[in-house]
Chains A and B, each alone.
Chain A
Amino acid sequence: MELSIISLILLYYLKRPMGLITVSQDWNRLFTSGMIAAAVILFLNYSQITFLETIAFFASILLGGLIVYLVIKNPELHHRKGMIYAWLPIMVISVISDVIYKLSPTFYDQWENYIEVSEFFAFAWAIVMWFNNSKQRRALEAEKLKALQREEKYKLTESIKEQLEKQVIERTAELTAQKNNLEKALHDLKATQDQLVHAEKMASLGELTAGIAHEIQNPLNFVNNFSEVSNELLAELKEELEKGNTAEALELAVDVSSNLEKISHHGKRAESIVKGMLQHSRTNTGEKVETDLNQLADEYLRLSYHGLRAKDKSFTADFKLQADPNLPKIPVIHQDIGRVLLNLINNGFYAAAEKKHQLKEANDPLADSFIPKVTVETKALKNSVEISIEDNGPGIPAEIQSKIFQPFFTTKPTGKGTGLGLSMSYEIITKGHGGKLSVSSKPGLFTKFIITIPQV
């Protein structure tokens, strides 16, 4: 009877999970069946029918033995070994005492004390084992708790990680978009800059064209005039020869040959102007060529004057080149320096004419006698060459002197200047030629731009 109750208890515990350890569904079903069997046995035990009681007695031994056998033999159930060991002595003693009682109740009475003592020890053993087992179980449960906490922490970390990853992806997308926008803006700016530089070049080319037309027209006129007059001279020469006037004929021949020289000279002059124009508009090759800056300054002083003159009929000005005859030729990028000179000289003429305009506006008596003037001076210094461009215009106030080389700074009315002339000139002189471009000015009196280019 006791054995089937113990079996029931054992089966109940076997079904329950221990700490983290659970048994499989198959085992669970088996244990449930076992519990039903134990209950049936228990019921049969009380049937008062000797035959059934005997069957129950053997069945309970079989069930108990099976449980002990399964738990000890199956590695899957080893965690419950402790429990089996705790109950085993009680089970064995119960079986023995039942067997003894069934076989010989007298023998049982004689030995009852011993059996009771052994039952007591078996109980004591079971209690000690139970304590031991529950300690083990608590340890396992604590471990389970820790494991659960770890798992929770891990889950939390995972979710944070996931969130962070999401944020990283979002930020990356944002940054990529920003980067793309910036790249596009930069690209647009570069394109605009190129356009502006081109516009500035074209603007200065436009300023040049009128001057160039005038400058080319003059030599062409000479070429035409001298070839025409040479023809006339040759006709005369023939006449003189026919008359036998050799001396006269010789004199005419000298004139004709000097005219041919003049034709060639003016032809070359026109050619060099066209070349200069092409160089001005051509994209920068960056090639430095030994250049006579006196000649270059003269050329651009004239081009600038005639250009402005052609554009504005009322424009009048005086100009002068004070060329240092000892100026050495130095290697410069011809078209770049030309652009700088044109820009500075144009500015000079513009400023000087502006002063006359201001005087007229103010009804100043000096207005009529004031002659706008631009003076270009070249000077050979110890290891460098200096070119200064001075105008007698209204001057530049001290507070804007520091700004004039900044891109887009202009004092001209909107649409009249790109504001890039001086900044480009500054770049060309400093970066392109390792030189210096400085300004000195006295408001009301003059402005002088000084270019210094090192000789080497």
Chain B
Amino acid sequence: MKILIVDDERDVEDLFRQKFRKEVRAGDLELAFAFSGDEALKILSADNPPKVVYVFSDINMPGMTGLELLDKIKERFPHIQVSMISAYGDQENFKKAMNSGAKEFFTKPIDFISLKKEIGKLIDHHKS
């Protein structure tokens, strides 16, 4: 199962790879990273149908914001699930994200326990 993480902070990649090290090694999870909305769309479009089943995206990014990316993904790949991760956990962003079809809304600093649960559920669902 492949998931895509979108964040303009490059160190996010190392963090996720280490946090989900066991799952990756067990072959349950494949991680892909993009550092902007444009890059994310490119990765999603690379395979048809895309291998990625879940996207975690930051909201605050230069250029295309996470919310704009969410709209575009929902428009072009409606079956891909998208969850938002934002430093700004305000109601406005939350509402916008939910109205646009986001599955979850995580605030920074990321609570990896709940994130792991979410991904664990995905893996279980994928296996079955």
Contacts and interface: CB of A to CB of B under 8 A. Distances in A.
Interface of A: 214, 217-218, 220-222, 224-226, 228-229, 232-233, 236, 255, 258-259, 262, 266, 305-306, 309-310, 313-314, 316, 318-320, 371
Interface residues of B, number: 21
B15 A313 contact: no
A166 B80 CA distance: 97
A258 B14 CA distance: 10
Contacts of A320: 62
A236 B110 CA distance: 22
A362 B111 CA distance: 43
A255 B11 contact: no
A306 B60 CA distance: 8
A383 to B, nearest CB: 33
B62 A225 contact: no
Nearest to B19: A229
Contacts of B15: 222, 225-226, 229
B90 interface: yes
A319 B60 contact: no
A319 B63 CA distance: 7
Interface string B90-110: 101100000000000000111
B102 to A, nearest CB: 16
Contacts of A220: 109
Contacts of A310: 88
Contacts of A309: 60, 88
B25 to A, nearest CB: 10
A318 B11 contact: no
Contacts of A255: 18
B31 interface: no
Contacts of B62: 305, 318-320
A218 B9 contact: yes
Contact of A221 (B21, B60, B68, B108): B108
Sort A-B residue pairs by CB-CB distance and give the 9 closest, nearest first: A221-B109, A229-B18, A313-B92, A318-B63, A225-B15, A316-B65, A319-B62, A221-B108, A222-B11
B93 to A, nearest CB: 6
Given A259-B18, A262-B14, A319-B62, A313 B108 contact: no
Nearest to B7: A218
A221 B18 contact: no
A214 B87 contact: yes
Interface in B67-88: 68, 87-88
Contacts of A318: 62-63
A60 B6 CA distance: 150
A217 B11 contact: no
Nearest to A218: B9
A236 B25 CA distance: 13
Given A259-B18, A310-B88, A318-B62, A225 B110 contact: yes
Given A229-B18, A229-B19, A318-B62, A266 B90 contact: no
Nearest to B63: A318
Contacts of A228: 112
Contact of B11 (A266, A316, A371): A266
Contacts of A371: 63
Contacts of B109: 217, 220-221, 224-225
A313 B90 contact: yes
A199 to B, nearest CB: 28
